[in-house]
Structure 1
Amino acid sequence: MNKIPLLDLTQQYKGIRNEVRDAIDRVLESGHYILGPETKALEAEIAEYCGVKHAIGVGNGTDALQLALDAAGVKAGDEVITTPFTFFASAEVVSQLKATPVFVDIDPKTYNLDVEQLKKAITPKTKAIIPVHIFGQPAQMDEIMELADQHDIFVLEDAAQAIGSEYKGKRIGSWGHAATFSFFPTKNLGGYGDGGMIVTNDDELAAKLRILRVHGSSPKYYHSMIGYNSRLDEIQAAALRIKLRHLDDWNNARAEKAAYYNKKLAELPVVTPFHAEDRKHIYHLYNVQTEDREGLMAHLKENGIASGIYYPLPLHLQEVYKDLGYKKGDMPNAETISQKIFALPLYPELSEETIDHIVAVVRNYFE
């Protein structure tokens, strides 16, 4: 069997090649390349898809987080609670605004913020909470929103990995005061380059975000605030519009492959992903846990099968955050899981035959 990648974007492209090329040609012939009609159309389509009033296209998922926090008034001296078990950007943006990231341990099953721990972490300085819908499984948004309402705290959903997922029948992106998406190429809805989006039902916040993304100017050359240069380009928007039409089918295919993996791995010494009943999980990644991760990953590599670790070191133990005073043992769930977890190949076009082969290689290692 040929080498098996963690994700195969070329397979996806083959299926939509003509649509994508037509869309890109349309942009090139229009002569309008940044924040034009394609971006406007994508914003309207994403807003409708998420069930919200506004969508604001920006340069990437990290910018989306930072602009949203900035627009919400997060500043030096404020605290923002988030998870230590996520990509660095979820905390990095807090630090960029000179606020303080406060980390809360995760639920060992869903890998999302532990709501009981969250309750204990709120202080008078807490300005915002960033729940991360990690790997495509939503956090407990009803309880988080209830808590936020009690304390007048801004909630920003980091949905970089979760577009199309649902919590209690309601689309992710429509729960918080705002939510952000990443269109990095490897995401379930990925561009052919970088891109990001902020969604919200708040008219005032949306208006502010549209000004912030273009150097704080409205109209052009008249600046009412210090802003950013963070704009979605037309080629990305055009391609993403094509992909958005296929997103639900792709997400459903991922869930089917994950269920097939679960069935096949059931008798082996690996912990397969937990899927909470009240959520639609879109399986951005298919992560398992095992005691001998490095040994198993090396065995997979020898057999031409790619795998990856998400994430090897929780954020509270990163060198850059040593001044915050966290130490080993403070977040036991995140720390333990980060030593055991790794991702197996998963993408909508992955065949059952290929999964059978991957599982056979895993079984061979344990035998």
Structure 2
Amino acid sequence: MSLTIPYESLKTLNKPFETEFKTKFNNFLAHGWYILGNEVAVFEKDFAAYHHEKYAVGVANGLDALVLSLRCCNFPEGSEVIVPSNTYIASILAVLQCKLIPVFVEPDIQTYNLDPKKIEAAITAKTVAIMVVHLYGQCCEMDPILTITKKIKLKLIEDCAQAHGATYKGRLAGTFGDFAAFSFYPTKNLGALGDAGAVICKTESDYEILRQLRNYGSEKKYHNNLVGYNSRLDEIQASFLSIKLPYLDQINTHKIKLAGLYHEKLKETFIRPVVDQDFKHVYHIFNIRHPERDRIKSYLSDNGIGTEIHYPIAPHQQKALSAMNQMDFPLSSEIHSTTLSLPCSFAHTEADILHVIDLLNAYA
């Protein structure tokens, strides 16, 4: 059966911006400057300003944003970085690619985010940083995590790939840590039309290092100060992001409204995201949990509704992380085996969501 309500439609999502995109693209072609030009500089300035921060560096994608953040810290090889056990694998790959050791800590089963109460037991003499992941669009509980990083003098890195505009106690995701890594993959709340990413940092020295690391370790053309990367946000993606950035709050508001329908009308048979006044959840993903997840996914598909699973395999069970396959993270395993992501996009209407709710309530 063809889908009447797809999980996501990027074509529909980006339709309101098409005229501006085309104008920007024509200007881009006419200008003839394709890499690290004015469009990148403008987006970096505006993205930093949105977060009330001074420094943002555009990079090629969200994974590179994490890698370059860790590289900027210059940790000794073999140092340990605490990461949640149920994150997307990119968070872990960044740690491994910097020749560091990821140490998994289980999440809070209610929020799916790193459980602050479990962090200190995982800290050793080799621990150098905590990488929090604001999963699905909800910030981690940052106050106790900040207490730990200050007490033990650990670096704090935020994976904000899914949390553009989310807040904890009124403070934006990406403003708590030494570094904050963002992805602008097309499905994100602030999505490009291809891969793109950025890092927010706190100090001018880190800002200058990041700018060099993304560009072959070079501050001046053909003069290489560092062993760097080719990880540059290109001009055309920066220009598209600059168009969409002023609409980010509107996009988030729409998704929050759709999520509110799920919260209000969906039967309690389905475990929904926790709601707490300290957190502004921006619902990059609206997930439910149910022991019959796979049957529900098939049922919705048979009725024309697209869904996704974020994510079907827990990180410690991935073939790429075979060294961790024998480790036991029961909460992570439970989440990954029961979670289902429902339509909740800027491209969806309230009528779409009400139809999904009716189908789910009929199943229950």
Q: Which residue does 2:196 correspond to in 1?
A: 195
Q: Distance in 1 between matches of 2:87 and 2:325?
A: 19
Equivalent pair of 2:317/2:325 in contact (CA under 8 Å): no
Q: Which residue does 2:356 correspond to in 1?
A: 358
Q: 1:124 corresponds to which letter in structure 2?
A: A
Q: Distance in 1 between matches of 2:343 and 2:325?
A: 37
Q: Distance in 2 between matches of 1:175 and 1:130?
A: 11
Q: Which residue does 2:313 correspond to in 1?
A: 313
Q: Which residue does 2:125 correspond to in 1?
A: 124
Q: Distance in 2 between matches of 1:304 and 1:344?
A: 13
Residues 5-154 of structure 1: pairs in structure 2 closer than 5 A: 5-154=6-155
Q: Which residue does 1:159 correspond to in 2?
A: 160
- Check if 1:332 corresponds to 2:333: no
1:283: how far off? 0.3
Query: What secondary structure, in the 3-state scheme, does the structure 2 residue paired with 1:82 have?
Result: strand
The Cα RMSD (Å) is 1.4
Equivalent pair of 1:268/1:363 in contact (CA under 8 Å): no
Equivalent pair of 2:318/2:325 in contact (CA under 8 Å): no
Equivalent pair of 1:74/1:128 in contact (CA under 8 Å): no
Q: Distance in 2 between matches of 1:221 and 1:176?
A: 32
1:344 to 342, 346, 350: 342
TM-score of the aligned structures, taking structure 1 as reference length: 0.96
1:223: how far off? 1.2
Q: Deviations over 1:196-252 (max 9, x none)?
A: 000011111111000111111121111111100000011000000010010000101
Equivalent pair of 1:82/1:129 in contact (CA under 8 Å): yes
Q: Distance in 2 between matches of 1:236 and 1:314?
A: 31
Count residues in correspondence.
Answer: 363
TM-score of the aligned structures, taking structure 2 as reference length: 0.97
Percent identical pairs in the alignment equals 39
Q: Distance in 2 between matches of 1:2 and 1:178?
A: 40
Equivalent pair of 2:113/2:140 in contact (CA under 8 Å): yes
1:158: how far off? 0.1
Residues 157-306 of structure 1: pairs in structure 2 closer than 5 A: 157-265=158-266, 267-306=267-306
Q: Distance in 1 between matches of 2:342 and 2:335?
A: 16
Equivalent pair of 1:183/1:191 in contact (CA under 8 Å): yes
Q: Distance in 1 between matches of 2:349 and 2:220?
A: 52
Gaps in structure 1 of 5+ consecutive residues:
none
Q: 1:344 corresponds to which letter in structure 2?
A: L
1:348: how far off? 2.0
Of 234-243 and 351-360, the range deviating more from structure 2:
351-360
Gaps in structure 2 of 5+ consecutive residues:
none
